[in-house]
Amino acid sequence: MDYVINGMRPGDWEQVRAIYLEGIATRNATFETGAPSWEKWDAGHLADLRLVARAMNQVLGWAALSAVSGRCVYAGVAEVSVYVRARFTRQGIGRTLFEALIALSEQHGIWTLQAGIFPENVASLALCRKCGFREVGRRERLGKLDGVWRDVLLLERRSRIAGT
């Protein structure tokens, strides 16, 4: 399948939201149980660090970074989110998005990317590892989803370019 990776636009939100809702429905992608409004999502993600995979006018997947803290010492640390429309998984779109987001993050001075992933989300863990992430810890019983305590694995990727 031919597609391009480019910046996310506000007009992409409905498709981005639909893909996010697909991830939410798996109950292995996030603690969230619903998608926020565009305004809330927009406020929580770094404006220049949002990408989509696009074929014609269809968004196949998206990737974005959010700040982990407002403290200046953490200015180069961001949390990554990558979601691919269910019918387009296992086609390399997630990895292409991830690699493009990593390159873009380094251009913006981000020296550490982190991800929190449920241990049951084997595909996301494998993707992170392929993209240079390593597991740095397990946060046991971090939160409840549907009334069940869930662990979260913390992974990180340190840049060899940014912050050196």
Q: What tens digit of pLDDT does each residue of 39-50 get?
A: 999 999 999 999
Residue 1 confidence (pLDDT) above 90: no
Give the pLDDT confidence of 118-149 residue by residue, as tens digits.
Answer: 999 999 999 999 999 999 999 999 999 999 99
In terms of Cβ atoms closer than 10 Å to its own Cβ (0-12, 13-18, 19+), residue 136 is exposed
Number of neighbouring beta carbons within 10 Å of residue 149: 10
Number of neighbouring beta carbons within 10 Å of residue 108: 13
Q: Which residues pair with 58 in a beta bridge?
A: 55
Q: Which residues pair with 117 in a beta bridge?
A: 153
Q: Could you please report the per-residue DSSP string of 67-78?
A: ES-SSGGGTTEE
Q: What phi and psi, each to the nearest 5 degrees, are found at residue 27?
A: 65, 20
For residue 162, the model assigns a pLDDT of 83
The DSSP symbol for 52 reads E
Average pLDDT, the chain: 95
Residue 105 confidence (pLDDT) above 90: yes
For residue 163, the model assigns a pLDDT of 74
Residue 55 confidence (pLDDT) above 90: yes
Q: Which residues pair with 55 in a beta bridge?
A: 58
Task: pLDDT band for 2, please (50, 70, 90 cuts).
Answer: very high
Q: Which residues contact 12 (CB under 8 A, 6 or more apart)?
A: 52, 59, 62
Max Cα distance, the chain (Å): 43
Q: Per-domain residue ranges for the chain?
A: 4-158
Residue range 95-112: average pLDDT? 96
**Top CATH class, 4-158:** alpha beta
